Amino acid sequence: MARLLVTGGAGFIGSNFVHHVIDHTDHHVTVLDKLTYAGNRGSLNGLPERRLS
């Protein structure tokens, strides 16, 4: 299992990438986002917490 760091993971493209990685791999994902106008924590709702930090 790999560990990935996704910058901008709460934005539109980043959150879709995170969802894809979680759905199709066994990787653990760490999301780093400044949460400015484009970032939305709600974009990551529903993801398993054990694979996301």
Can you give the pLDDT at residue 28? Answer: 96
Can you give the pLDDT at residue 38? Answer: 83
**Alpha-helix runs per DSSP H in the chain:** 12-24
Can you give the pLDDT at residue 32? Answer: 93
Coil vs helix vs strand at 28: strand
Give tens-digit pLDDT for 1-53.
899 999 999 999 999 999 999 999 999 999 999 988 888 888 888 888 888 77
Statement: the pTM of the whole predicted model exceeds 0.85: yes
AA identity, residue 45: N
